Amino acid sequence: MSVEATMHVVRPSRRDAYLDWLQMLTGAALILFMWSHMILVSSVIFGQGAMNAIAGFFEDTYMAQVGGPLIFLAFLVHFVIAARKVPFRAEQQKTIWAHAKMLRHRDTWLWLVQVVSAMIILIMGAIHMWVVLTDLPITAAKSAERIQGGFWFFFYLVLLPLVELHVSIGFYRIGVKWGFIKTDRRPQAKKAENILFIVFMAIGLVTLLRFLTLSV
């Protein structure tokens, strides 16, 4: 390989390694949060009392007041770190798209899905968190009233699949990148990723329908 061909190759630095670790840790934390959040919110399926009891616990222990802003901070940090690898310029996007079509590699397409979904989630997720955190305490009646207003039902109908897709792909890609998922285990890991997406999508849709039919 000629010197000219290697001139623009930038060697990864120790800083890049630290940022990759921080991206992985914030990503893993957000994945766990999203799964936990979905399960806790879905408690409304069993009635207003179940969700209000859980929400009340988080309020009484100040986990909602402190944890909410911390999650939002982790959300922003994760996006900023991940954004350093995202092609924002038109010509870079064109090149990535051309390479993805040429390679026809599933994991490359998964990365592209993550990038696109991340851009939308950044805006919609920030709106959701602002609305919830500026209207504490969280109650089943408040959530139901908001969703039954019409706009928010369709808002969450868009946000839900984007988040679950981003999270399930992120879980898989963390395992692949950091060696937890070996090459020969990728087919099984991909099946697990699909199952996780289907399960949490189902929980999310049933929860949305429950809020829609809840008497407030």
Per-residue pLDDT tens for 109-133?
A: 676 777 788 888 888 888 888 888 8
Q: Is the pLDDT of residue 1 over 50?
A: no
> What residues contact 108, with CB distance under 8 A and at least 6 apart?
99, 100
What class, spelled out in words, does domain 3-213 have in CATH? mainly alpha
Peptide bond into 137 cis (omega under 30): yes
The neighbour count for residue 193, using CB atoms within 10 Å, is: 22
Cβ atoms of 216 and 141 closer than 8 Å: yes
Among 57-66, 89-98, 108-117, the least confident range: 89-98
pLDDT score recorded for residue 24: 82
CA separation for the pair 49, 20 (Å, rounded) = 42
pLDDT score recorded for residue 59: 79
pLDDT score recorded for residue 4: 44
For the chain, domain boundaries: 3-213
How buried is residue 199: exposed, middle or buried, by Cβ count under 10 Å (0-12/13-18/19+)? middle
Alpha-carbon 8 to chain mean position: 33
CA angle 122, 128, 130 (to 5 degrees): 95
Per-residue pLDDT tens for 15-58?
A: 777 877 888 888 888 888 888 888 889 999 888 888 888 888 88
Enumerate the known binding-site residues: 37, 78, 128, 166
Pick the more confident residue, 31 or 14.
Answer: 31
CA separation for the pair 68, 153 (Å, rounded) = 22
Per-residue pLDDT tens for 148-187?
A: 887 888 999 999 999 988 888 888 878 877 777 777 787 7
DSSP 8-state code for residue 86 = S
Q: Is the pLDDT of residue 107 over 80?
A: no
Per-residue pLDDT tens for 191-205?
A: 888 888 899 999 999
The neighbour count for residue 175, using CB atoms within 10 Å, is: 17
Q: Closest Cα to residue 143, out of 60, 13, 48? A: 48
Enumerate the known binding-site residues for heme b: 37, 78, 128, 166
